A and B are shown apart, each in its own frame.
Chain A
Amino acid sequence: RQATVQRKEKDFEGMLEYHKEDEALLIRMLITEMKPQMVSATVPCLPAYILFMCIRHADYINDDQKVHSLLTSTINAIKKLLKKNSEDFEMTSFWLANTSRLLHCLKQYSGEETFMTQNSPKQNEHCLKNFDLAEYRQVLSDLGIQIYQQLIRIAENMMQPMIVSAMLESGSLTGVKPLGYRNRSSSVDCDSGGPSGYTLDALIKQLSQFHTQMSEHGLDPEISQQVVRQLFYSINAVSLNNLLLRKDVCSWSTGMQLRYNITQMEEWLRGRNLHLKHIMSTIEPLIQAAQLLQVKKKTIQDAEAICSMCNILSTQQIVKILNLYTPLNEFEERVTVSFIRDIQNLLQGRTENAQLLVDTKHTFPVLFPYTPSALSLETMHIPASLNLDFLGRV
């Protein structure tokens, strides 16, 4: 067996030295020309750690201009890159992960006690010595929010053509043959008629792809959870709005299909270990609408049951769905005017939102909870393939 000589790591202090004139090259290699695949086999968020180790060295030699310059160039390069890749989910997710990790590093190694509670003694030794970068932390946090918003916008645009078809039109239960994964984009207009051909499987596949990429990039699970929650909100809003405007989907069988689809999405969340209740609550109005389509709508007892069941839907929404409700065959009756009046009477005095349609543009505020890393900077290995051999390990 060949003996391998381990290079002594004990002298490495987890800093990276570079000449000021190499800053542009560093930014080019690490940000501008970086592709997520180039670091997929390394520790997640390697670019963020490398940048931080460079900042540490500039701090160590007490060169404030070098720290300023590196941080400004970094923020500048990330902004430009995002502008260039404004429709690219993978790139946006990758830089959200790295920006947030760089922000965590600036906190973890700030020397401020509140951020040091989980640090190892070695990590505490690695804290910044000369500079307080609190103001740059604020800039990075603002940048993170911008990147998050871009990520949500991209994901929503990609899902938009799928939602109505997958949730309301294609059905594995109703005997409608799923049409598979065809490329059409027109589900937003409510009177377009026929399905655009996306199945629930396609929508779930898309969600899986988003979630897998975020995990692979090392995005904090708390943040990817917020992305999924926002996307579920969007699925709820678009589906419910279509239901509130289209007679052809207000039927018992769509209600049954919808309920089944929502169960599948719930299963998906469970399979991905995502916070179920928190995310499912965004889709609750759609669950209630599906139940409303399925329950009996005849007696005063039915009316009372509907009123207690549909506590998130507004009176206006409940009444609208009942008015649009279309019997599937001659055995089923239309909802009578007096039944709808009963519902209106029962719901009188309920304080609620007066709007019929759900705001599809609403976004939940994003939070970036502090997530320190257990990783030790002195163990960081930089692959030769990154062409960063001008960085000196210190």
Chain B
Amino acid sequence: RLLPRPRVLLKAPTLAEMEEMNLFEDEDSP
């Protein structure tokens, strides 16, 4: 049986960084 390969860490921005990127701004709102 093969040993599982080590998993690759997927980097993610923090929630605060996502906020700064204005990711959550609603396009519908004026």
Q: Determine the interface band of chain B, counting residues with CB < 8 A from chain A.
A: 10 to 19
Whether B10 pairs with A75 at a CB distance below 8 angstroms is: no
What residues of chain B lie closer than 8 Å to A129, measured between beta carbons? 4-5, 7
Most buried by A among B9, B10, B16: B10
What residues of chain B lie closer than 8 Å to A72, measured between beta carbons? 18, 23
User: Once bound together, how far apart are the Cα atoms of A33 and B26, in whole Å?
Assistant: 15
A132: contacting residue among B10, B13, B18, B23, CB under 8 A: B10
User: A-B contact count, CB below 8 Å?
Assistant: 59
User: Once bound together, how far apart are the Cα atoms of A84 and B27, in whole Å?
Assistant: 12
Contact with B along A55-73 (1 / 0, CB 8 A): 0000000001001100110
User: Once bound together, how far apart are the Cα atoms of A139 and B13, in whole Å?
Assistant: 8
Query: Which residues of A from 93 to 138 have beta carbons under 8 Å from B?
Result: 111, 128-136, 138
A136: contacting residue among B10, B24, B26, CB under 8 A: B10
Whether A142 pairs with B24 at a CB distance below 8 angstroms is: no
B12 to chain A, nearest CB (A): 4
Query: Which residues of B from 1 to 30 have beta carbons under 8 Å from A?
Result: 4-5, 7-16, 18, 23-24, 26
Whether B12 pairs with A132 at a CB distance below 8 angstroms is: no
Known: A129-B4, A130-B5. A135 touches B24 (CB 8 A): no
**B10: nearest chain-A partner, CB-CB:** A131
**A73: nearest chain-B partner, CB-CB:** B23
Whether A80 pairs with B24 at a CB distance below 8 angstroms is: yes
**B8: nearest chain-A partner, CB-CB:** A131
A3 to chain B, nearest CB (A): 41
User: Once bound together, how far apart are the Cα atoms of A141 and B9, in whole Å?
Assistant: 17
B14 to chain A, nearest CB (A): 6
What residues of chain B lie closer than 8 Å to A133, measured between beta carbons? 10, 12
**A134: nearest chain-B partner, CB-CB:** B9
Q: Is A143 an interface residue (CB 8 A)?
A: yes
What residues of chain A lie closer than 8 Å to B15, measured between beta carbons? 75, 139, 142-143, 146
What residues of chain B lie closer than 8 Å to A111, measured between beta carbons? 4, 7
Whether B24 pairs with A132 at a CB distance below 8 angstroms is: no
A123 to chain B, nearest CB (A): 15
Query: Which residues of A from 293 to 320 have beta carbons under 8 Å from B?
Result: none
What residues of chain A lie closer than 8 Å to B23, measured between beta carbons? 72, 76, 79
Contact with B along A139-182 (1 / 0, CB 8 A): 10011001000000000000000000000000000000000000
A44 to chain B, nearest CB (A): 25
User: Once bound together, how far apart are the Cα atoms of A128 and B4, in whole Å?
Assistant: 10
Q: Is A83 an interface residue (CB 8 A)?
A: yes
- Please report B residues at the A interface, Cβ cutoff 8 Å: 4-5, 7-16, 18, 23-24, 26
Beyond A129-B5, A131-B8, A136-B10, 14 additional contacts (C-beta under 8 Å) are A68-B12, A71-B12, A79-B18, A80-B24, A83-B24, A128-B7, A130-B8, A133-B10, A134-B9, A135-B11, A139-B12, A142-B14, A143-B15, A146-B15
